[in-house]
């Protein structure tokens, strides 16, 4: 197990974060409800809950893929995004809002100065390719905690800068995955700032789920009670347009 020490001196390791993650998950009213259900239900129901919080495998630097291809949209392209690329995202801000007590607007500099986690994981695309890469970013649960996510929230929606045929790309996860210790909003990849092709300035990594859940170009994180009424209502771009599975666990 590797230990990462962030600039704030917070020691982050797979084990340490797992404990932190579990504390947080236990603290979430939704999960408390699930766990309470599990206590009175079958062993398999409990095991399903435990599996959801397990860590995805992590790899060594030596195991990283020599190339990590880009896929899907590789540049949102429109004027405002192009302006942010030109100014190296100096004036860009991530919005965290919806069912939160304290909506946030965070600059890339603020995100990079916050506690971060680095993980080397395997990305699996449904189109039949995989690649192992290193991701560095802000643990999602820390941002949601900072924003004061409300008990009425059930899902977290990631709004992206790109669209296909006028339909914005978006994705969503439930609170178990949102508070998973390996769920991060990555600003770094393979030791470099995240490139435009891979989703600059910020992209989601939810390491126990398929490639299309790994939303690139994340502009806004919205806590919601329901996915109904958000775009096509199925929780994601590919879910809406092609009937892809919403959970997409691997
Ligand atoms: N905003 C946005 N996110 C996206 C996509 C996209 O087209 N737009 N494609 C998805 C798919 S299908 C995959 S496999 C990965 C590809 O990530 P990469 O370009 O870093 O390899 O991003 C996912 N996230
Ligand atoms: Mo994909």
**CATH code: domain of residue 27:** 3.90.420.10
73 lines ligand 1 (CB under 6 A): yes
Residue 120 lies in a domain: yes
Exposure pattern of 134-145 as b/e (b: 16+ CB <10 Å)? bbbbbbbbbbbe
Number of domains forming the structure of the chain: 1
* Average pLDDT rounded to a whole number, residues 176-188: 98
Residue 71 lies in a domain: yes
Ligand 1, pocket-test mutation among 158, 199, 241, most atoms within 8 A of CB:
199
Q: Report the pLDDT value the prediction gives residue 239, as an integer from 0 to 100.
A: 98
Long-range own/partner contacts, residues 5-9 (CB < 8 A, 24 or more apart) = 6/115, 6/116, 7/113, 8/114, 8/115
Residue 204 lies in a domain: yes
Ligand 1, pocket-test mutation among 65, 126, 173, 211, most atoms within 8 A of CB:
211
pTM of the model: 0.84
Q: Which helix (H) or strand (E) is 4 found in, with range? A: strand 3-5
Closest atom of ligand 1 to 217 CA is 1
Domain limits for position 104: 23-242
Torsions phi, psi for 16 (to 5 deg): -60, -45
Residue 17 lies in a domain: no
Q: Report the pLDDT value the prediction gives residue 165, as an integer from 0 to 100.
A: 92
Residue 10 lies in a domain: no
pLDDT top residue among 41 and 244? 244
Please, which pLDDT band fits residue 52 given cuts at 50, 70 and 90? confident
Average pLDDT across the chain, whole number: 86
β-pairing verdict for 218-224 and 93-98: parallel
* Protein residues within 5 Å, CB atom, of ion ligand 2: 125, 211-212
Q: Report the pLDDT value the prediction gives residue 43, as an integer from 0 to 100.
A: 52
6 lines ligand 1 (CB under 6 A): no
Residue 2 lies in a domain: no
In the numeric block, which tokens belong to residue 99? 């069912």
Closest atom of ligand 1 to 218 CA is 1
Residue 73 lies in a domain: yes
Instruction: Give the closest residue (by CA) to ligand 1 atom 11.
Output: 212
**Does the pLDDT at position 46 exceed 60?**
no
Residue 60 lies in a domain: yes
**Does the pLDDT at position 108 exceed 60?**
yes
* Average pLDDT rounded to a whole number, residues 18-43: 43
Q: Report the pLDDT value the prediction gives residue 51, as an integer from 0 to 100.
A: 76
Report the separation in Å between the CA atom of 127 and the middle of ligand 2, taken as the mean of its atom positions.
6
Report the separation in Å between the CA atom of 216 and the middle of ligand 1, taken as the mean of its atom positions.
6
* Cα angle for residues 161, 167, 172 (degrees, 5° grid): 65
185 lines ligand 1 (CB under 6 A): no
Output the CA–CA distances (angstroms, integers) from residue 15 to 66, 142, 181, 200, in the order listed.
28, 17, 10, 29
Instruction: Give the closest residue (by CA) to ligand 1 atom 15.
Output: 211
């Amino acid at each position: 197990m590797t230990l990462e020490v962030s600039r704030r001196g917070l020691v982050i390791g797979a084990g340490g974060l797992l404990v932190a993650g579990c504390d947080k998950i236990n603290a979430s009213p939704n999960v408390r409800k699930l766990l309470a259900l599990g206590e009175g239900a079958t062993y398999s129901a409990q095991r399903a809950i435990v599996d959801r919080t397990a860590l995805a495998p992590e790899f060594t630097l030596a195991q990283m893929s020599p190339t990590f291809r880009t896929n899907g949209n590789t540049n949102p392209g429109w004027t405002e995004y192009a302006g942010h690329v030109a100014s190296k995202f100096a004036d860009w801000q991530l919005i965290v809002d919806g069912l939160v007590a304290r909506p946030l607007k965070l600059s890339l500099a603020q995100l990079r100065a916050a506690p971060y986690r680095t993980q080397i994981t395997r990305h699996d695309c449904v189109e039949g390719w995989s690649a192992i890469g290193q991701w560095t970013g802000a643990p999602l649960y820390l941002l949601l905690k900072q924003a004061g996510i409300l008990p009425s929230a059930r899902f977290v929606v990631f709004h992206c800068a790109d669209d296909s045929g006028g339909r914005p790309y978006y994705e969503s996860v439930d609170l178990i995955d949102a508070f998973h210790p390996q769920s991060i909003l990555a600003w770094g990849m393979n030791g470099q700032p995240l490139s435009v092709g891979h989703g600059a300035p910020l992209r989601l990594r939810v390491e126990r789920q398929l490639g299309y859940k790994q939303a690139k170009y994340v502009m806004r994180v919205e806590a919601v009670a329901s996915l109904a009424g958000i775009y096509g209502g199925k929780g994601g771009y590919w879910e809406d347009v092609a009937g892809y599975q919403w959970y997409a666990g691997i």
